[in-house]
């Protein structure tokens, strides 16, 4: 699977080279849709006024970190991306933060939370069944390396067929909701109601008493 990720890293490198540190530079249509995705994912944070650690997979140029800072949330943040050009851009935009943005797809620490935005969308020529096994393996890792929960989004299988692209992955929200319920936690939320051709799943491992 590692060999399959190199073309995907190149794909995202081409996006940021073409569009810079913008929503289009990380392959989103607009800053509004990018912000909406962040809002959905950050719903996993149950006590944003209390210190917490969070790992951001597919961090791009660090836009989620910027939002956390704008909100004043006391987050111990680490960002990861498989495209080196993204990490170069993130480090340039956030000087004085050594080690906060890392080239790679896994974290060595156990964080309170993890979020994954868009990392499952682009599969290029990877067969769907192989890609789906990869997605599940990543979710297994997120379960192992988080204490309170994790959140991810995915293009939806219910997208209009004429609008689908053959190099993208469209997940079945029913499948992933059931998977998360059976394998990770009873406390799972599925959001499929926010106007984009995708869904977000929140897996809560610890609830407030």
CA-CA distances (angstroms) from residue 175 to 5, 49, 154, 155, 169? 24, 33, 12, 13, 14
Fold exhibited by the domain 2-204: Rossmann fold (3.40.50)
What backbone phi and psi angles, to 5 degrees, belong to 128? Answer: -60, -45
pLDDT in tens, the chain (209 residues): 556 799 999 999 999 999 999 999 999 999 999 999 999 999 999 999 999 999 999 999 999 999 999 999 999 999 999 999 999 999 999 998 888 999 998 888 999 999 999 999 999 999 999 999 999 999 999 999 999 999 999 999 999 999 899 999 999 999 999 999 999 999 999 999 999 999 999 999 976 54
CA-to-CA distance for 1 and 133, rounded, in angstroms? 10
CA-to-CA distance for 21 and 83, rounded, in angstroms? 14
Phi-psi region of 96 (alpha: psi -120 to 50; beta: other; left: phi over 0): left
- Sequence ranges of the domains in the chain: 2-204
Q: What is the DSSP letter of 110?
A: P
């Amino acid at each position: 699977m590692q060999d399959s990720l190199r073309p995907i890293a190149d794909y995202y490198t081409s996006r940021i080279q073409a569009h810079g540190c913008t929503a289009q530079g990380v392959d989103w249509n607009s800053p509004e849709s990018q912000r909406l995705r962040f809002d959905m994912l950050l719903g996993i944070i149950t006590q944003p006024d209390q210190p917490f650690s969070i790992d951001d997979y597919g961090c791009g140029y660090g836009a989620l970190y910027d939002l956390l800072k704008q909100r004043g949330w006391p987050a111990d943040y680490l960002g990861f991306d498989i495209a080196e050009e993204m990490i170069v851009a993130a480090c340039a935009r956030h000087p004085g933060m050594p080690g906060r943005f890392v080239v790679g797809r896994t974290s060595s620490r156990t964080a309170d939370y993890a979020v994954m935005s868009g990392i499952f969308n682009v599969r290029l020529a990877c067969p769907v069944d192989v890609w789906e096994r990869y997605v599940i393996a990543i979710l297994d890792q997120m379960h192992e390396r988080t204490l309170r929960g994790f959140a991810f989004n995915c293009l939806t299988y219910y997208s209009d067929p004429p609008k689908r692209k053959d190099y993208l992955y469209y997940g079945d929200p029913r499948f992933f909701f059931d998977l998360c319920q059976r394998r990770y936690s009873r406390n799972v939320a599925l959001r499929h109601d926010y106007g984009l051709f995708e869904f977000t799943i929140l897996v809560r491992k610890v609830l407030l008493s």
